[in-house]
Amino acid sequence: MPLAVVFVLIAALWRVVFTDAHGFTPVLASLLFFGSRAERKWLWAPALLLATTDVYLNYAHYGYKLTPDFLVTWAWYAAIVWLGSVLKEKQGWLRIAGVTLAGSISFFVLSNFMVWVVWNMYPRTLEGLLNCYAAGIPFYRNQFAGDLIFTAFAFALPSLLTSSEAQEHRVSG
Residue 105 identity (one-letter amino acid): I
Which pLDDT value is given to residue 93? 93
DSSP 62: I
Which pLDDT value is given to residue 170? 57
* Rounded Cα distance, 121 and 62, in Å: 17
Query: Phi and psi dihedrals of 126, rounded to 5?
Result: -60, -40
Which pLDDT value is given to residue 67? 87
Which pLDDT value is given to residue 65? 84
Q: Which is nearest to 27 in space by CA: 146, 164, 165?
A: 146
Which pLDDT value is given to residue 19? 82
Which pLDDT value is given to residue 114? 96
Which pLDDT value is given to residue 154? 96
**pLDDT per residue as tens digits for the range 126-160:** 999 999 999 999 999 999 999 999 999 999 999 88
Q: What is the pLDDT along the chain (173 residues), one digit of tens a residue?
A: 699 999 999 999 999 999 877 889 999 999 999 999 999 899 999 999 999 999 999 888 888 888 889 999 999 999 999 999 999 988 899 999 999 999 999 999 999 999 999 999 999 999 999 999 999 999 999 999 999 999 999 999 998 887 655 555 555 55
